[in-house]
A and B are shown apart, each in its own frame.
Chain A
Amino acid sequence: DQQVKQNSPSLSVQEGRISILNCDYTNSMFDYFLWYKKYPAEGPTFLISISSIKDKNEDGRFTVFLNKSAKHLSLHIVPSQPGDSAVYFCAASASNTGKLIFGQGTTLQVKP
């Protein structure tokens, strides 16, 4: 039962353009959402998060949007840079469980 889904395994974007990564979830109890970035042979690193009481959170080039009615969130990176090339994982948690559930990941390639 995949509660968090990232339906695009990969995305290729030109440097300077916008990257949009998408994530869908099924559990309505989720109230906290996060994006992690992962390079090969390293652990995931936290990028940005959003609480279910908000619909947008921005941090520099990274913005996360949450649409609770559609159970959908997205990560926007603008402008994209070659160093952003990595695997991006969406994750969600419910405050009553205390654990993060991850999506399958989307591999982003930013071409110079």
Chain B
Amino acid sequence: NAGVMQNPRHLVRRRGQEARLRCSPMKGHSHVYWYRQLPEEGLKFMVYLQKENIIDESGMPKERFSAEFPKEGPSILRIQQVVRGDSAAYFCASSHDSAEKLFFGSGTQLSVL
């Protein structure tokens, strides 16, 4: 399967714990995007990365959230000290080039108890 792979599909955390969401882009894609979908809302842009570089993080909360896309390995979205409001579906997408159509993974559903 050469699609965008996200894991885990479901993640349950208690308030104050850390959440790590992983994304492996499609083969040959060096551009990775993270989006968040809150219940009954659309997809909100969070961050755009290109191998080892953060290109645009304008949609990411200033505190507790961070993202990386190392030279080797998957992209990681990290949420520290999770709160109930972080509960959402987090989607990763990749593209071969910027401003092209994005291919999405199946998402990680984060539930904060």
Taking Cβ atoms with an 8 Å cutoff, the residues of A that contact B are: 6, 32, 34, 36, 41-46, 49, 89, 93-95, 97-105
Residues of A within 8 A of B33 (CB): 99-100
By a CB distance below 8 angstroms, the chain A residues around B45 are 99-102
Q: Can you list 16 contacts pairing A with B, beta carbon distance less than 8 Å?
A: A41-B109, A42-B106, A43-B4, A43-B105, A43-B107, A46-B101, A93-B99, A99-B33, A99-B45, A99-B56, A100-B102, A102-B35, A102-B44, A102-B45, A103-B42, A104-B41
Cα A43 to Cα B102 in complex, Å, equals: 11
Cβ-neighbour of B104 out of A44, A97, A99, A103 (below 8 A): A44
Decide: A105 near B98, CB < 8 A? Known: A42-B106, A43-B107: no
Please report the number of residue pairs spanning A and B whose Cβ atoms sit closer than 8 angstroms.
57
Residues of A within 8 A of B69 (CB): none
* B residues lining the A interface (CB < 8 Å): 4, 6, 31, 33, 35, 41-45, 48, 55-56, 91, 93, 98-99, 101-107, 109
B4 to chain A, nearest CB (A): 7
* 9 further interface pairs, Cβ-Cβ under 8 Å (given A44-B91, A98-B55, A99-B99): A6-B42, A41-B109, A89-B43, A93-B99, A98-B98, A99-B56, A99-B98, A102-B42, A102-B44
Chain A residues lying within 8 Å of B44, measured Cβ to Cβ, are: 102
